[in-house]
Amino acid sequence: MTKTIENFLRYVKIDTQSSEESTTTPSTMKQHDLAGLLVSELEAMGATEITYDKEHCYVYATVPASAGYENAPVLGFIAHMDTSPAVTDTNVKPRIVEHYDGKDIVLNAAENIVMKTADFPELLNYVGKDLIVTDGTTLLGADDKAGVAEIMTMAEDLLNHPEKKHGKIRIGFTPDEEVGAGADHFDVKLFGADYAYTVDGGALGELEYENFNAAGAKLHVYGRSVHPGSAKGKMKNAILIAQEFQKLLPVEQNPMYTEGYEGFFHLDAISGNVEEVTADYIIRDHNRQLFEQKKELFLSCADFLNRKYGEGTAIVDMKDSYYNMREIMEQHMHLIDNAKAAMEELGIEPKVSPIRGGTDGARLSFMGLPCPNLCTGGENYHGRYEYACVQSMEKTTGLLIAIAAKYADR
């Protein structure tokens, strides 16, 4: 078993699930369990300039430049330690399906949990490969412990092989990426990199420097409860008004019907009664102009309901979350060119595509650290059918080393 896989299997057994409801930083203290382990391992392998921000749960470290390359640009690699709140991360039981045969994978016979090729046809891309899966009762945590494992293995390899050329390498591990707070307390100045990559993508070859512009919107609908026996002309049913609001949004701009560069309005959660309803939405679009138009439409729907049912019926709290990093990355396309060249040299087919989501790299790019996103080798993130390909993860580790070498000569 290679060190990349050994690291990964160790890390996924540590529960680091973040929380959307928490008001603390990090959102869950158990993220420190992995952070502390990584600090110990970095110390043991001989990394330098190790900083553990115990207040906010960030880990920073350095792999010193190899001899003769001290003046090369400082390159960073970043991954997040937390896992998604969507499915539990407690008691992860990873196992390796060796030489996958292209058939459905029984994750848990007792509970009849089966990963079917009919549901996940991309499984057929991995026939003959080794896949790491769960027992179907938890997510796996490849998002983003695969990235953590690959970066740690890269660091140890470079420290053990000073003959490999590279400039100074900075490593960063963040908490709370899955709840949108991964870059909140990231110290760009302390990190000190000229450029960086987040290692937080999916299938081997993925290379991303575009992401959604994103906003979160909370819709509050205020109704009036009256006994239904005498409700005529008096009741305002907040539940029905919230449904009416949803129907005002373009039906085709629902994430169930969109792909590629198409944006959407997504109703993520809703709760309430006749008196009051709260609905949580996310608004996404790669195009900044269309993004602004979507926000304006959302607000205009609330205005319409206020004119129809009375002022104060529909109140919207809206806040931008992050922006498309493409406008930053277009000034630093060497990051994409070098990554593509390194992939091709390793026999990896580059797959440049827009992220239909966000990444720490987007916010970091706007904080002064240009930061596209690299693959990790995982698939089906945020669910019990998540898996990672052993060979893809091993190749990704090699990719990080190859990219580091590219920047040694800049």
**Cα angle value 8/10/14 (rounded, 5°):** 105
pTM, entire model? 0.89
287 with 263: CB under 8 angstroms? yes
Please report, rounded to a whole number, the percentage of residues in the chain having pLDDT higher than 70.
Answer: 100
392 with 5: CB under 8 angstroms? no
Binding residues: 80, 143, 178, 200, 382
Active site residues: 82, 177
Compute the distance between CA of residue 374 and CA of residue 120 in angstroms, rounded to an integer: 22
The per-residue pLDDT of the chain, averaged, comes to 96
Residue 410 has pLDDT above 80, yes or no: no
Neighbours of 124 (CB within 10 A): 11
Q: Give the per-residue pLDDT at 319.
A: 94
Mean pLDDT, to the nearest integer, of 255-259?
Answer: 95
Write down the CATH number for the domain with range 3-210+324-408: 3.40.630.10
Confidence of residue 399 (pLDDT cuts 50, 70, 90): very high
pLDDT in tens, 53-101: 999 999 999 999 999 999 999 999 999 999 999 999 999 999 999 999 9
Write down the CATH number for the domain with range 213-322: 3.30.70.360
Compute the distance between CA of residue 378 and CA of residue 353 in angstroms, rounded to an integer: 16
Confidence of residue 357 (pLDDT cuts 50, 70, 90): confident
335 with 197: CB under 8 angstroms? yes
First-to-last CA distance in the chain?
35
Binding residues for Zn(2+): 80, 143, 178, 200, 382
Cis ω on the peptide bond leading into residue 144 (within 30° of 0)?
yes
pLDDT in tens, 148-159: 999 999 999 999
Mean pLDDT, to the nearest integer, of 209-238?
Answer: 95
Compute the distance between CA of residue 92 and CA of residue 98 in angstroms, rounded to an integer: 19
Length of the chain: 410
pLDDT in tens, 298-314: 999 999 999 999 999 99
Residue 1 has pLDDT above 90, yes or no: no
Of the candidates 56, 383, 396, 4, the residue with the CA atom closest to the CA atom of residue 202: 396
Residue 113 has pLDDT above 90, yes or no: yes
Domain ranges of the chain: 3-210+324-408, 213-322
